[in-house]
Structure 1
Amino acid sequence: MNIESGDRLFTIASCGANAMTLLLDDPAEVVALDLSIPQLHLAKLQAACIKHLSHQEFIDFTGVDRENVKPEERVRIYRAIKGSLELPTQEYWDSRMEAVEFGVMHCGDFDINIRTAAEDFFFVALDQSDIKRFLSMGDDMKEQSDFFENVMNTKYFRRAVKRLIQRLLSDFNLSIFPDVDYPKFYGRRMEEICKTIPAKRNHCIEYILTGGYSGKYNLRDYQLKENFPILKERIDRLEWIQGELTDWLRKYPLSKQPMFDCVCVSNVTDWLTIENHNLAIRSAGKICKQGGRIVFWNGQGMAKYWPSEMVDTVLKVEHEIEAECVKYDRMIFWEPLRVATVL
């Protein structure tokens, strides 16, 4: 996104991870929008954790190495910080203490699907000792690739991947998706990742195969201990907003507020028709400063692109940056990142 210190950023809030990670680039403000009220409550809770807790308390509470932290400890931590939450967020989590006990980062619909798929499919298809061994690999990529091919990549494993994708796609309106064999599509990407990306530095593959994060390997940037003091200092630069993306982007110019230096639409347009996707990108181009970046991504097989009339007139597509970003993709679900600069 080519963020500079003091920039003003727009992003999709989701669970808060993307927005909080952006703080590491020292923006003056991050405006984070989401349609989902539960997602915003989770984002606000995580932000409060970063502001008021130690790093160890933060990862213990949210659910890293979940099985080795007692539910009562997570409840204790929640009660210690709940007074810092806005009343609607506090009431939301007060009514969902089972999620607090379990670890809040594991309680979204997507997370539940991933976890149950690991338990129902991957723990059946693979020996858990083989999963643990694979997740410790990555120093010798030939060793990792050979282990995956010779030990893990069985018909049972491929069937588990297929069932995972079928379960995840059950939440989507498939009528707006291209007619693609998605399980096969994602299966190829799964194999590629397992053979080419160091497993112990890929938190995504641990998440898929086990349904959680042990903390023994890599975590997301906002969860890392070395980044925690920076986030704690900057956490108040976040603004959380509830709203629908296309409507909010369309109306934003009427607010007379400053334009953004960068706009991240995330993968929200996976839920939109092509027409509404194009509408969202056109609106993003109107609220992003000249020289600023617009970024989005989509699920594998659901590729959407820049509206054709914007290319080389409103936007310069950053093909080299897009190609470079593919090297850093750790998840099986995404098409290449889309990056463009506003002209």
Structure 2
Amino acid sequence: MQSMSGALTLRKPDAAKPAGRTRLDRAVRQNPLLSRAGLSERLFAHVFKGLVYPQIWEDPDVDMQALRIRPGDRIVTIASGGCNALSYLIADPASVEAVDLNTAHVAFNRLKLAAVANFPEYETFYRFYGKADDRGNIAAYQRFIQPHLDAQSRAYWEKRTLSGRRRISIFTRDLYRHGLLGFFIGCGHRVARLYGIDPRDLLKAETLDDQRRFFDAAIAPLFEKRLVRWATSRKSSLFGLGIPPQQYNALASAGDAGMASILRARLERLACDFPLSENYFAWQAFGRSYSHEEAGPLPPYLSRGNFAAIRARIGRASVVNASFTEFLAAKPDGSVDCFVLLDAQDWMTDGQLNELWREITRTAAPGARVIFRTAAAENLLPGRVEPSILQRWAYRETESKALHGRDRSSIYGGFHLHVLKAD
């Protein structure tokens, strides 16, 4: 449930509206304004304008296993929170080009690129993005990042919100409690505490058996509560996960026992299937931060051992405000080796999917790889993308299922890998 790519071929934006907002609106809106579905789409577009994902919720280790990134590969990915785009640099690609319709995510990623390039050492970088709650982060921003930011991104971070604080201050007030996702997780914690449960107690578990016992005794019963079942039956309740109305429908199709049961199963996997020592997604969900232990799990880009390599290659990464399809439309034939679509296809129409895959196929280099995730388990492309396009690609079904089983974020129904066939 990630940043909206809106992989469409776009017409010229309306002059009366900012381009980024117009792109986002067009990616979301598929129904008449005054219809129930149309109102839901517009509400989602409104809440999605700001920062949604301080951390991306796709496992970068799984991505890199699937993509088999080779030195010199050219990658195009949806940006979202930027964790994965930066992590790909570990594999020594020639370029990582990130795109996003959300202008807040573009500013967030450009801040991260500037931090990698200009902070004096790893400790300052980790304090900024790992702990993300130190008052010294403002001084670090002003000294090391601000002079290197483009004017648009600088204006975004220095704008004051209704509270009177500048946006950059979230790095002194626990970054991961902010953004739409941070707010959603916080609401989940508050609801749990209403029933006498503190989700942070899961992090005291020392073994997988301990994790299972806590989940079964404390977390699972919450999904039987009337309030929880009522709330999760509303599409708007999951906007905080970045789930637009179209994707809610796809997620709901994953089972017939109600949304609460589907979410319970996904959270069970997150809580019980991976040791806490290896799963930073569980730390974020149940603790709202990374582990405070030096050896605690972190995203690859944020690990001390990877910092030097990422820093040396940071000039190969870029972020632009665009849709995936329009970005590819400007690229030459055969110029991309790896495509990362996150879960954006879940809310596309058949027409949008075909436009996207025509551009992917045209720009794909020999042996190109495409990865994406879906709310439901099934691969959504067969029957929707034209056979003449889809037959150019080999779907690695067995490998996809194995990779899905390794995805520590645990919130998706399926992981999918397609490889361009040899001519």
TM-score range normalised by the length of the shorter chain: 0.7 to 0.9
Instruction: Give the Cα–Cα distance (whole angstroms) in 1 for the partners of residues 102 and 178 of structure 2.
Output: 14
Identify the residue that residue 325 of structure 1 maps to in structure 2: 403
Q: Is residue 189 from structure 1 mapped to residue 284 from structure 2 by the alignment?
A: no
1:112-261 mapped onto 2 (5 Å cutoff)? 112-118=183-189, 120-125=190-195, 127-128=197-198, 131-137=199-205, 140-150=207-217, 152-156=218-222, 159=225, 163=231, 167-169=237-239, 172-174=243-245, 177-178=249-250, 180=253, 181-216=258-293, 217-249=296-328, 251-252=329-330, 255-256=331-332, 259-261=335-337
SS of alignment partner, residue 313 of structure 2: helix
Which deviates further from its counterpart, 217-226 or 26-35? 217-226
Instruction: Give the Cα–Cα distance (whole angstroms) in 2 for the partners of residues 56 and 300 of structure 1.
Output: 40
Which deviates further from its counterpart, 94-103 or 299-308? 299-308
Question: Given that residues 317 and 340 in structure 1 are in contact (C-alpha distance below 8 angstroms), is that contact kept between their aligned partners in structure 2?
Answer: yes
Identify the residue that residue 287 of structure 1 maps to in structure 2: 363
Identify the residue that residue 35 of structure 2 maps to in structure 1: none
Q: Deviations over 1:98-126 (max 9, x none)?
A: 432222555332233223433x2234445
Shift of 1:231: 0.8
Instruction: Give the Cα–Cα distance (whole angstroms) in 2 for the partners of residues 165 and 60 of structure 1.
Output: 39
Cα–Cα, structure 1 residues 331 and 196, in superposed 2: closer, same or farther, change >3 Å?
same
Identify the residue that residue 89 of structure 1 maps to in structure 2: 153
Instruction: Give the Cα–Cα distance (whole angstroms) in 1 for the partners of residues 313 and 274 of structure 2.
Output: 32
Aligned counterpart in structure 1 of residue 136 of structure 2, from 55, 66, 73: 73
Shift of 1:85: 1.0
Which deviates further from its counterpart, 37-46 or 305-314? 305-314
TM-score (norm 2): 0.70
Q: Deviations over 1:128-149 (max 9, x none)?
A: 4xx44522436x3233323332
Instruction: Give the Cα–Cα distance (whole angstroms) in 2 for the partners of residues 296 and 77 of structure 1.
Output: 36
Instruction: Give the Cα–Cα distance (whole angstroms) in 2 for the partners of residues 165 and 211 of structure 1.
Output: 24
Aligned counterpart in structure 2 of residue 57 of structure 1, from 101, 124, 128: 124
Question: Given that residues 16 and 47 in structure 1 are in contact (C-alpha distance below 8 angstroms), is that contact kept between their aligned partners in structure 2?
Answer: no
Instruction: Give the Cα–Cα distance (whole angstroms) in 1 for the partners of residues 408 and 147 of structure 2.
Output: 37
Instruction: Give the Cα–Cα distance (whole angstroms) in 1 for the partners of residues 353 and 233 of structure 2.
Output: 23
Instruction: Give the Cα–Cα distance (whole angstroms) in 2 for the partners of residues 32 and 315 of structure 1.
Output: 23
Q: Deviations over 1:235-260 (max 9, x none)?
A: 110122211223333x23xx437611
Cα–Cα, structure 1 residues 312 and 198, in superposed 2: closer, same or farther, change >3 Å?
same
- In the alignment, structure 1 segments of 5+ residues that lack a partner are none
SS of alignment partner, residue 338 of structure 2: strand
Instruction: Give the Cα–Cα distance (whole angstroms) in 1 for the partners of residues 283 and 228 of structure 2.
Output: 14
Q: Deviations over 1:64-118 (max 9, x none)?
A: 334xx43x31211111121111121112111155432222555332233223433
Q: Alpha carbon RMSD of aligned pairs, Å?
A: 2.8
Q: Is residue 99 from structure 1 mapped to residue 167 from structure 2 by the alignment?
A: yes
Instruction: Give the Cα–Cα distance (whole angstroms) in 1 for the partners of residues 136 and 259 of structure 2.
Output: 41
Identify the residue that residue 417 of structure 2 maps to in structure 1: 339
Q: Deviations over 1:159-202 (max 9, x none)?
A: 58755785324765425624543332121121233222213321
- In the alignment, structure 2 segments of 5+ residues that lack a partner are 1-66
Q: Is residue 23 from structure 1 mapped to residue 101 from structure 2 by the alignment?
A: no
Which deviates further from its counterpart, 32-41 or 257-266? 257-266
Cα–Cα, structure 1 residues 302 and 111, in superposed 2: closer, same or farther, change >3 Å?
farther
Cα–Cα, structure 1 residues 105 and 144, in superposed 2: closer, same or farther, change >3 Å?
closer
Shift of 1:291: 0.8
Shift of 1:261: 0.9
Structure number having the greater helix percentage: 1
The residue identity in structure 2 corresponding to 1:212 is S
Percent of aligned positions with the same letter in both sequences? 19
Question: Given that residues 11 and 33 in structure 1 are in contact (C-alpha distance below 8 angstroms), is that contact kept between their aligned partners in structure 2?
Answer: yes
Structure 1 stretches of 4+ moved >4 Å: 157-166, 170-173, 300-303
Question: Given that residues 34 and 40 in structure 1 are in contact (C-alpha distance below 8 angstroms), is that contact kept between their aligned partners in structure 2?
Answer: yes
Aligned counterpart in structure 2 of residue 11 of structure 1, from 74, 77, 92: 77
Shift of 1:227: 1.0
